[in-house]
Structure 1
Amino acid sequence: MINYTHCEEHELLRHLASGEEQAFTVIYNRYWKPMFFIAHKKLQVVEDAKEIVQGVFFTLWQKRENLLINDLSLYLAAMTRYAVYRHISKEKKRKDQLKKIEKNIKPTAAFDVESKQLLELLNRFTSKLPEKYRIVFLHHKLLDKPIEEVADQLGVSPRTAEGYVSKVMALMRNHHKKVAFSLLL
């Protein structure tokens, strides 16, 4: 049995290409910290940095048979940087979409006074929510998009998106109770 922990890079790559999971595990253990550092330094969000590193390793495993790598550490660093850039680009597109949606939700002259007030309250409430929660709520509840479509836009599972909606609805109920209680006093 081969002790992969003492293997050099080129040997690990050869074993990786032949599909040996232990070689992949050694590569993962050797390089995940520096890759995480690169991703976290750019993003400043731990969860996003972890997701990016996992994605890079997933891609490495998927493409292992066809890769020609001279320097694994440089290759993984470059993959991580490009994954970060793609993530930043996606986030910018999501924010732009959210701004478009928020503009479309603003009250118009066709709304009566009560509807305008309700939309103003909703806009004020949703502006305080975390971004992903706000996007799911606006798309699914106010624009009637299917939860699967919204989840796909955000790059999360439908179950996670449903969790976001449940959390927002619970926050709204809690806020409503506080307002009702304060009116009674």
Structure 2
Amino acid sequence: MRSYRPYSDSELAFLLTQDDEQAFTEIYNRFYGLLFIHASKRLNDEEEAKDLLHQLFESLWIKRSQVAPDGNLSAYLYTAVRNRVLDVFAHHKVESRYVESLQNYIDQDHIQTDYLVREKQMSLLIEQEIDALPPKMREVFILSRKENKSHKEIALELGLSELTVKTQVKKALRILKTRLGLVVYVAFLLKTYH
């Protein structure tokens, strides 16, 4: 297997457009570290930065035919990270505006139906994120959080070890916390344990 390390960024970009998986791997290895530092500094959250880069490289492979082979690959990737970081901030902004407006309604003791509509929207958002979990993780998570089964009961039902069940639940909670943002995640936990 030949080494792709000597290739220039533009050569790798060209090979990427030709569906070359090794070129993609080299791009990933070459840029991941720097992009991770860049993203985690901006986001102040390493897990969120990891998720962002995972999505970025997944998107890069899916849209490989659209990469300009003679363009500046480094600038392209940094711009993509910057745009995704801005998207995360925009998402958080929308979320905090939503929470703020919800609080205003509660403070004003506004019509109960409006609050219920908002709560339904939040529940829908949470359900969508749970549905997006990997199948086995989703199954374990639903048995744990919605059916209130113990790790031991889930392990017996699904033929898994208790440690696997515990790990799956932990991972699911971490994914949900990252995707939903802290406020919605806490609201979800409060609902689950009431």
On whether the aligned pair clears a TM of 0.5, the verdict is yes
Change (3 A) 1:100 1:157: farther
1:118 maps to: none
Change (3 A) 1:30 1:156: farther
Change (3 A) 1:18 1:83: same
Give yes or no for contact 1:139–1:150 (8 Å, CA) kept in 2.
no
**Is 1:168 matched up with 2:190?**
yes
2:39 maps to: 39
- Deviation readout 1:134-166 (Å, 9 max, x if unpaired): xxxx989x82447443455x7993758965577
1:25 maps to: 25
Gaps of 5+ in 1: 112-137, 174-185
How far apart, in 2, do the equivalents of 1:110 and 1:11 lie? 62
Change (3 A) 1:47 1:156: farther
1:79 maps to: 80
How far apart, in 1, do the equivalents of 2:18 and 2:110 lie? 66
How far apart, in 2, do the equivalents of 1:17 and 1:88 lie? 31
Shift in Å, 1:106: 3.4
1:144-183 alignment runs, 5 A limit? 144-145=120-121, 147-152=123-128, 157=132, 159=138, 164=185, 167-169=189-191
1:66 maps to: 66
Aligned pair count reads 144
- Deviation readout 1:46-102 (Å, 9 max, x if unpaired): 111111112221221121112215221121111111111111111101110111122
If you compute each CA radius of gyration, which structure gives the higher value, 1 or 2? 1
Q: Give the fraction of aligned pairs with identical amino acids, expressed as a percent.
A: 25
Which secondary structure does the structure 2 equivalent of 1:108 belong to?
Answer: coil
Change (3 A) 1:110 1:23: closer
Shift in Å, 1:2: 3.3
Gaps of 5+ in 2: 146-172, 174-184
Give yes or no for contact 1:18–1:65 (8 Å, CA) kept in 2.
yes
1:2-17 alignment runs, 5 A limit? 2-17=2-17
What's the TM-score once normalised by structure 2's chain length?
A: 0.60
What's the TM-score once normalised by structure 1's chain length?
A: 0.62
Structure 1 runs (4+) deviating above 4 angstroms are 158-166
RMSD after superposition: 3.5
Which of the pair has the greater relative contact order for Cα pairs under 8 Å at 6+ separation? 2
Shift in Å, 1:107: 6.5
2:54 maps to: 54
How far apart, in 2, do the equivalents of 1:18 and 1:30 lie? 19
Give yes or no for contact 1:16–1:64 (8 Å, CA) kept in 2.
yes
Give yes or no for contact 2:24–2:61 (8 Å, CA) kept in 1.
yes
